[in-house]
Amino acid sequence: MIRSTAAASPQHSSPPDPEAAISIRGLVKRYGDRAVVDGLDLDIHRGEIFALLGPNGAGKTTTVEICEGYRDRDGGEVRVLGVDPAKGGRSWKADLGIVLQSGAGDSQLSVRELLTAQASYFADPRDPDEVLELVGLTDKAGARGRTLSGGQRRRLDVALGIVGRPRLLFLDEPTTGFDPEARRQFWALIRSLRELGTTMLLTTHYLDEAEELADRVGVIARGQLAEVAVPTALGGRGTAPAVVSWTEDGVRRHAETATPTAFVAELAAHFPGEVPDLAVSRPSLEDVYLTMIGDGS
């Protein structure tokens, strides 16, 4: 069951927070008669990495594109870096970095040429060579975009998104198609960008990615924000009972307990040495996420 924190309508909300990186109140977007975003409230703080989760068609891309100024809204208030995206001018746009799902990697230009061209659109760009270093593409500076691997193209997409020194970076499913090592390297890149002070809004279907990277996660379902929390607390995860598992007389045993430390201490007293195959677990982010969206989308 969804635990809705979204206000029913904009008039019940506080006004948008101009200090937030993104502040949304009562956002509505309709296609025909259907509201695909239906009264969504959200604040993303400056400097944080925020992951937006939700099933296919939940309204994530629509919400993000309204924030980027690429789609009109039918209702509600939105402020991105203090500005209404429907009225955002050139200097506001220059503060945004956007990494879309399909990037510019097919170009005949070299990686450095692409970055240098992109940098020329901005008043105070990063040095393209520093950006190449940051994304781990220094060795590929002279390579044509189309000769890059999928993971390298994604790094190039990020390089293009950050060369303008954005204050706010939108990352749409950034690691789709990455191998496990490339994902870990990409996560390190995202963390180093956070250390440079960049706010990031990430959409992803990878729960482990959200858990690794995000300071907070928000779950969108049916056009509303179902819950916002730190990843360890979403869906009551932090206070959910733990499950203690062990093997006894060749049989796997499980016990649910609110006091796993005491339970394990008691269990330990029954065994001469180590408790065989002892494990203590709590619901994963995926467990609580699936429960939250489980009643249809």
Point out which residues bind ligand ATP (CB under 6 A): 31, 36, 54, 56-62
Q: Please, what is the minimum distance in Å from the beta carbon of residue 101 to ligand ATP?
A: 8
Residue position matching structure tokens 């494990």: 279
Distance of CA 220 to the CA centre of its chain: 12
The burial class, CB within 10 Å (0-12 / 13-18 / 19+), for 195 is exposed
Closest among 120, 159, 127, 123 to 143, alpha carbons compared:
159
Unique residue bearing structure tokens 């390579």: 143
**Cα 279 from Cα 290, distance rounded (Å):** 23
Least separation, in Å, of the C-beta of 152 and ligand ATP?
Answer: 24
Cα gap 259→224, rounded to integer Å = 35
Q: Are 129 and 138 in contact (CB under 8 A)?
A: yes
Residue 83: strand pairing partners: 80
- Least separation in angstroms between CB 247 and ligand ATP: 41
Please say whether the dihedral angle defined by the alpha carbons of residues 14, 16, 17 and 20, taken in this order, is positive or negative.
positive
| Beta carbon of residue 212, minimum distance to ligand ATP (angstroms, whole number) | 19
* Min CB(80)–ligand ATP separation in Å: 17
Q: Please, which residue, 100 or 267, has the CB nearer to ligand ATP?
A: 100
